[in-house]
Amino acid sequence: MTTPALLSLLLLSAAAQEPASAADVLPEAFEAGWQGQDTCEQLFENDEIRVGRCTFPPGIGHERHWHPRHWGYILSGGTMRITDATGTAERSFETGGNWWSDGVEWHEAVNIGDTTAVYLIIEPKDD
């Protein structure tokens, strides 16, 4: 085999062994659920944004998933245990609070509080 042909074969082999990104193997937030049950409902979508509502009664969570960039608004606060690549943390979210995220490669969460947590997620679409 010639050197250029061998080099091409090696490059193709290496590319085939690259791990897939989280977005390639995990569901998006609106698609992820908890133990076979839906936790998020898409409320609206057009060419510019997508809006969903996610509801987590006590003991219910959100299986491992990823997010594109998004803004979130807390309709009903609660306490969540969130696990991501940096570890696990417990966070309390206040009703009326909000956040911005440039995207999340992956995380998972479970409501460890005694109230039902409800969030709106608004995802702007890229042009």
pLDDT 10s digits, 20-64: 555 578 999 899 999 999 999 999 999 999 999 999 999 999 999
pLDDT computed for residue 126 by the predictor: 81
Q: What domains, with CATH codes, occur in the chain?
A: 22-124 (2.60.120.10)
Please say if the pLDDT value at position 108 is more than 80: yes
Query: Pick from 75, 81, 76: which is nearest to 61 by CA?
Result: 81
- What pLDDT score does 23 carry? 56
**pTM recorded for the entire structure:** 0.78
Quick one: CA dihedral 71, 74, 75, 81, positive or negative?
positive
Residues linked to residue 90 through DSSP beta bridges, in sequence order? 81
